[in-house]
Amino acid sequence: MPRIHVCSLRRLPQTVEETGARDVVTLIKNIAQVATPQPVVRERHLALDFADIVVPTEGQVMANETHVSDLLRFVRRWDRVAPLVVHCYAGVSRSTAGAFITACALRPDQPEEVWAEAIRAQSPTATPNLHLVTLADRLLARRGRMIAAIEAIGRGEDCFEGVPFALDIGPAG
């Protein structure tokens, strides 16, 4: 069954090794600090460089529609044979939003709440970045449903590093 694994930067090599993932999404500020983990090939590693912010902040790069469009294009090419790993620095906000966006994009037959509630059930620390979700909601024409689903699960528990988790997304919808 196709799975999306979510983790922190620290857990990236271990997660790729343990899951057999061949596709990786990096959502992090200063992507130069992240090497493509072995055995993933560079063409199957998407690295997007932006800060974990939800309002414009001086000196910080905020996620934009191009970032989310790149994410959507990449995950739509994922063959779903081996797992996909989505990570950010702490495994709390950008990566959980990335996993949610991926699930919503690849399984439009499922209500947005299904994925938001699955994330909360798997990780009490998950706090999906609402700005990323808002951009995706617009690009996927979800009319606020993605935003409402994430708002409904609320903020996760405070932590320095998120609880890693996996979403089983099932067959293409």
Q: What is the pLDDT of residues 13-33, one digit of tens each?
A: 999 999 999 999 999 998 888
Cα separation, 171 vs 173, whole angstroms: 6
List, as own/partner pairs, every contact residues 61-66 make where C-beta atoms lie below 8 angstroms and the sequence separation is at least 24, other chains included: 61/29, 62/131, 63/94, 63/129, 63/131, 63/132, 63/135, 64/135, 65/135, 65/138, 65/139
Could you give the domains of the chain? 3-166 (3.90.190.10)
Q: What is the pLDDT of residues 117-150, one digit of tens each?
A: 999 999 999 999 999 999 999 999 999 999 999 9
Q: What is the pLDDT of residues 46-72, one digit of tens each?
A: 999 999 999 999 999 999 999 999 999
Q: What count of residues does the chain have?
A: 173
**Prediction pTM value:** 0.97
